Amino acid sequence: MILFLGGRLSVVVDPLVPELSRSVTIPNSENPLQSSFDAFTEDIDTNIGLLRKKMISDNLVIETRSTGTKSAKKLAVVYLEGTAQAKVVQSIMKKLEDNRGLELTNVRDLTRILGHPQFTLTPTYISSELPGETTQELLNGKVVILIDQFSFAFAFPAIVADLWSTTLDVNYPRLFQIFLRFLRMGALVLAIVLPGLYVVLNSVNPELLRIQLAITVAKSREGVPYPSLIEMLLVLILLEMIIEATIRLPKNIGPTITMIGGILLGQAIVQAKLVSNLLIIILVASAISNFALTSYINASGIRIYKYVVLFVSAFFGIWGLEAAIIWLVLYFASLTISTVPFLSVSLKEEVPDE
Amino acid sequence: MNKIPTLSLFVLLHLASIFAIFPERMIAATSKGHWMAITLLFAVELGVLWFYLKALSLAPGKTVIDICRETMGAWITRLIMLPFMTFLLIELLLLTYYQAVEIKAVLLQRTPVAAISALFVLLCLYGAWKGLVVMVRASMGWIFLFMPFILFSMFISIKNFRFHYIFPLWDADLSFLFRSDFYVGTVIFAGFLFLGMTATKTKIGFGKTAAAVGIIYMFAMASVYIPLLIFGQETVLHLQYPMLMASDTVDLEWVVFDWLPSFYVVSSSGLGVIKVSVLLWILVAILQQLFAPILDRRWILSVVSVLLYLACQWMPNSGTLNSYLYVNSYFCLYATIGFPIIAYFAARQHRKKVSG
């Protein structure tokens, strides 16, 4: 800043406005492999700049607008013209226009402004901290919304393939990418059915198993005083608590919980004959497969739905398990986000949807 | 509606019959040359399908009910649709009861039929509630989830084949034509009725549909000949679930599951759910359009589902199922053969009216 005092005299003063935004750093919540490492910051102009730098194209459309009456919030809608479906862009723009008076302070406000159903099993968007990933989302035909003071980009709408594919996969060799995606699809199925299947094979339909295996399963439960549904619920809820406890703890206390949880769910609970050791195996496998899905938020619906599967399976055995899966398929088929059916294969303009 | 999901729903609805009712009826219909009976059925289906699709293409963007109503008036259409709806109603009841009993017999011996059918009807209600478009979309999910089970449970028993059971191949006097079991087999046709029930601009070509019928024909042949080649005609005639028993004749050591027929029941009930939901949706759509346009579709659907559930409890045993199957075969013949032809002539009239 330069101050002109009178005619010839001028004084140079340091900037009066302090810098309120942090600089571009590496991502904090994602660990990309073989990709660019810069991440979005809180400042929306920086974020738009990052996107523009990553994608130099005539078709890149960036529309900024603001929403809210009590407090104004700046947001930017970014899409690739000709790649994103026109009807998706129109529906998002229309909702933003219609609901411009609504307050926008968090992510759920954004989905409400866009008119998405509030009780969905999967998130209706894909969030990312990486401009590189967001660029790929744009190329896949998604519409990205940046909100000021949010260091995440939200890509709309989510489709079923987002459960098992991340846009960072394209940086790997093709064969490896296919392998990874099939692995995640398998993880998806396991995450949904494993706890239910344990209860089915243990208490409702043990005759499905080979006799040797059935005996092993029964033996491992020897001395456990309650039905397998209660056993499963008890340990599942403990596991959820451990996951929840580790998320917000400072980095120097976190390992304590991991250690205590490890002891609790590892050996002690089995030795005390409170649960069977087979259950611990099932539990760990289901937790691992749950987190093998593409992102924490994405997998949250699956994490909740496995309880539905668990209860229906406990009452109706293998038929209940099947019914729960059928219900999930019907539910996903009925979900439509910003005019796009959730069970779409691709979002690009030229390929037909569904 | 997109083409591939529509065709996959078309295939799934046919497979639903193949995994229930169809094989045992075909085996009961004749003791020799089963392929002739099956081929005749599918030839008839191709013909009827041609009439039905032609009717739809003559009046694009209209349902068959619209076509009938606009040419013949509301009352005649109601009259035409009455036997059709009777067929749907009985078929729904039979299929639900059949599936509930099968699940109870194979998987859940201690659970009452009332509880099993409650879950079944609830699922179908959910499917029909969401509408046909959702079920068309979901059919892709069904293909991915159930095709492995379907193929697995059908073909694991192949190593037990005794090929001399295939003879005699020729049935010179077409004896099956005089058996009512043969006509019960026409329930398999119910799978194409949904094509004319939504107003859609997407034209489903006859060629692609015929190809789908070809695939279904393979499955139908397999479903009759697999149990036949394992047990022989004399034994298989007495089995209530021939396909299920066929998958019980093998012991695969690499599968952790011992009770292999459960795969059959899983695929059979999965297909049953989608068929019942689609038929339920059709029935409610007709009811609403023709008889109660002021009522909300979902109210009618809920009432019909509750009635379906209650009727299911009222069925005394699977012997009653058989007698109803025979009664229903008359309605079935009307709904799957008579009705498409009526629709075809109505559509021709409709076209004349529009152009003239």
pLDDT in tens, chain B (356 residues): 578 888 999 999 999 988 888 888 888 888 888 888 899 999 999 999 999 988 888 888 888 888 888 888 888 888 988 999 999 999 999 999 999 998 998 888 888 999 999 999 999 999 999 999 899 989 988 998 888 888 888 888 888 888 888 877 787 778 888 888 888 888 888 888 888 887 776 677 888 899 999 999 999 999 888 888 888 888 888 888 888 888 888 877 777 777 788 888 888 999 999 999 999 999 999 999 888 888 888 999 999 999 999 999 988 877 788 888 888 888 999 988 899 999 899 988 888 887 76
Q: Which of A236, A247, A227 is nearest to A306 (CA)?
A: A236
Alpha-helix residue ranges (DSSP H) falling in chain B: 3-18, 22-29, 34-58, 64-72, 74-106, 113-130, 132-155, 180-184, 206-231, 233-236, 242-247, 261-286, 297-314, 318-333, 339-355
At A84, is the secondary structure helix, strand, or coil? strand
- Among A192, A322, A343, most B C-beta atoms within 10 A, so best to mutate, is A322
Cα-trace Rg, chain B:
20
Q: What is the percentage of chain A residues whose pLDDT exceeds 70? A: 94
Closest partner CB to A319 (pick from B108, B127, B141):
B108
Q: Which helix (H) or strand (E) holds A64?
A: strand A60-67
**Other CB atoms within 10 Å distance of the CB of residue A275:** 23
For B127, which of A315, A320, A330 is closest by C-beta distance?
Answer: A330
Question: Which residue in A313, A330, A331 has the most chain B C-beta atoms within 10 A of its own C-beta, making it the best mutation to test that interface?
Answer: A330
pLDDT at residue number A220? 84
pLDDT digits over A161-210, tens only? 888 888 888 888 999 999 999 999 999 999 999 999 999 988 888 888 88
Q: Which residues of A touch B131 (CB under 8 A)?
A: 334
The answer to whether the CB atoms of A330 and B2 lie below 8 A apart is no
pLDDT higher for A265 or A51? A51
pLDDT at A16: 65
Contact across the interface for B107 and A318, Cβ inside 8 Å: yes
> Which structure tokens are listed for A257?
């919980």
Q: How far is CA B84 from CA A351, B335, B345, in A?
A: 39, 5, 17
Cβ atoms B259, B145 nearer than 8 A: no
DSSP-assigned states of every residue in B256-313: SBS-THHHHHHHHHHHHHHHHHHHHHHHHHHIIIII-TTS-HHHHHHHHHHHHHHHHH
Mutate one of B3, B119, B250 to test the A interface: name it (highest A CB count within 10 A). Answer: B119
Q: What span, in angstroms and rounded, lies between the C-alpha atoms of B344 and B348?
A: 6
Of A207, A211, A333, the CB nearest to B134: A333
- Please, which residues have CB within 8 angstroms of residue A91's CB and are 6 or more apart in sequence? A338, A339
Crossing angle between the packed helical segments A228-248 and A254-263, to the nearest 10 degrees: 160
- Chain B interface includes A339 (CB < 8 A): no
Question: Where are chain B's structural domains?
Answer: 3-355
What is the three-class DSSP state of A298? coil
The yes-or-no verdict on residue A287 having pLDDT over 60 is: yes
B123 CB within 8 Å of a chain A CB: yes
Where does the pLDDT of residue A351 fall: very low under 50, low under 70, confident under 90, or very high at 90 and above? very low
Residue B103 contacts A where some CB pair is shorter than 8 Å? yes
To the nearest whole angstrom, how far is the Cα of A204 from the nearest Cα of chain B? 8
- State residue B356's pLDDT score: 64
pLDDT at A7 (0 to 100) = 67
Cβ contact B258–A352 (<8 Å): no
Give the helix ranges, DSSP H, for chain A: 44-54, 86-98, 107-113, 131-139, 174-199, 211-220, 228-248, 254-263, 269-271, 277-291, 300-334
Nearest to A333 among B138, B145, B270 (CB): B138
Phi first, then psi: what are they for A264, rounded to 5°? -65, -55
- Percent of residues, chain A, with pLDDT higher than 90: 34
In a mutational test of the B interface, the residue from A160, A326, A340, A353 whose CB has the highest number of chain B CBs within 10 Å is: A326
Which of the two residues, B282 and A277, has the higher pLDDT score?
Answer: B282
Q: Do B286 and B120 form a contact (C-beta atoms < 8 A)?
A: no
B123 to A209: CB separation less than 8 angstroms, yes or no: no
Best A182, A319, A346 residue to mutate vs chain B (most B CBs within 10 Å): A319
Within an 8 Å CB–CB cutoff, is residue A332 touching chain B? yes
Q: Chain B closest CA to A236's CA: distance in Å?
A: 25
- The structure's pTM equals 0.90
Least CB–CB distance from A318: residue in B2, B119, B266: B266
B270:A322 CB<8 A:
yes
Question: Rounded distance, CA A284 to CA A282, Å?
Answer: 6
A323 contact B CB<8A: yes
Which pLDDT score, from 0 to 100, does residue A219 have?
Answer: 85
pLDDT value, residue A4: 65
Looking at this protein, which amino acid is placed at residue B114? A
- Cα A322 to Cα A31, A174, A196, A200: the distances in Å are 36, 34, 10, 11
Hey, are the CB atoms on B119 and A205 less than 8 Å from each other?
no
Helix axes of B113-130 and B297-314: crossing angle, nearest 10 degrees: 160
Q: How far is B67 from B63, CA to CA, in rounded Å?
A: 6
pLDDT value, residue B1: 55
Closest CA to B309 of B132, B123, B86: B123
Stretch A313-338: mean pLDDT: 92
Mean pLDDT for the stretch of residues A324-352:
82
Task: State both tokens at A77.
Answer: 């809608």
Helix (H) or strand (E) holding A80: strand A73-80
Chain B contact present for A334, CB below 8 A: yes
Structure tokens at A260: 């205590």
Distance in angstroms (rounded) separating the CA atoms of residues A18 and A9: 26
Residue A354 has pLDDT above 60, yes or no: no
Token pair recorded at residue A94: 């229309």
**Among candidates B2, B111, B119 on the partner chain, residue whose Cβ is nearest the Cβ of A354:** B2
Strand partners, A65: A75
The CATH number given to B3-355 is: 1.20.1740.10
Quickly state the pLDDT bin for A352 (edges 50, 70, 90): very low
Q: Residue B68: what pLDDT?
A: 87
Residue A29: predicted pLDDT:
82
Between B53 and A21, whose confidence is greater?
A: B53
| Torsion sign across C-alpha atoms A275, A277, A283, A286 | negative
Task: Name chain A contacts of B140, Cβ cutoff 8 Å.
Answer: 343
B255 → chain A, closest CA residue = A210
A8 pLDDT above the threshold of 50 = yes
Q: How many CB atoms lie within 10 A of CB A198?
A: 25
- A215: contact with B, CB 8 A cutoff: no
Instruction: Report yes or no: A209 at the B interface, CB cutoff 8 Å.
Output: yes
Please tell me the predicted confidence (pLDDT) of residue A145.
94
User: What's the rounded Cα separation, in Å, for the pair A137 and A156?
Assistant: 9
